[in-house]
Amino acid sequence: AEMAARLSENRLVSLPLSRIRVIMKSSPEVSSINQDALFLTAKATELFVQYLASYSYKHGRGKEKNALTYTDLSHTAEECETFQFLADILPKKILASKYLKMLEKEKRDGEVGEGEEEDKEEEDEDEA
């Protein structure tokens, strides 16, 4: 019965459970993984990715081209509060020359007082 249950669970999830188990085990706090926890993590991840993709498609320029682009995903990570935790993972693409200028500016701004630094960062984000 357990084998049959596992087979039906696998059909409900597109992501490979073995890979998710490996990722979960890579955390030092995790010693063993309950089968239900593994399945639910996989399903939640799948639903999250679907939500991210459909939100990015609907709110991006991809709709015009009937395609989902990296730019649509990074724009979602930047603009939508729900997805802002992904901003480091999905950074906005910029030219290397622009990035070097930003680093130079950060170096100069770094010499400004501590309290003013946070305000500067927010201004930089608005410009980007």
CA distances from 75 to 80, 82, 120 (A): 8, 12, 21
Residues 21, 51: contact at Cβ < 8 Å? no
The confidence score (pLDDT) of residue 66 equals: 86
The confidence score (pLDDT) of residue 4 equals: 55
- Lowest model confidence (mean pLDDT) among 54-58, 59-63, 104-108, 112-116: 112-116
For 74-124, how does the pLDDT look when each residue is reduced to its tens digit (9 = 90+)? 999 999 999 999 998 888 887 888 888 888 888 888 765 545 444 444 444
- Mean pLDDT of the region 14-21: 91
The confidence score (pLDDT) of residue 5 equals: 57
Listing DSSP states for 53-92 in one string gives HHHHHHHSTHHHHTS--HHHHHHHHHH-GGGGGGTTTSPP
Q: Which CATH number fits domain 17-109: 3.40.50.2000, 3.40.640.10, 1.10.20.10, 3.40.50.720?
A: 1.10.20.10
For 24-53, how does the pLDDT look when each residue is reduced to its tens digit (9 = 90+)? 999 999 889 999 999 999 999 999 999 999
Domain boundaries, the chain: 17-109
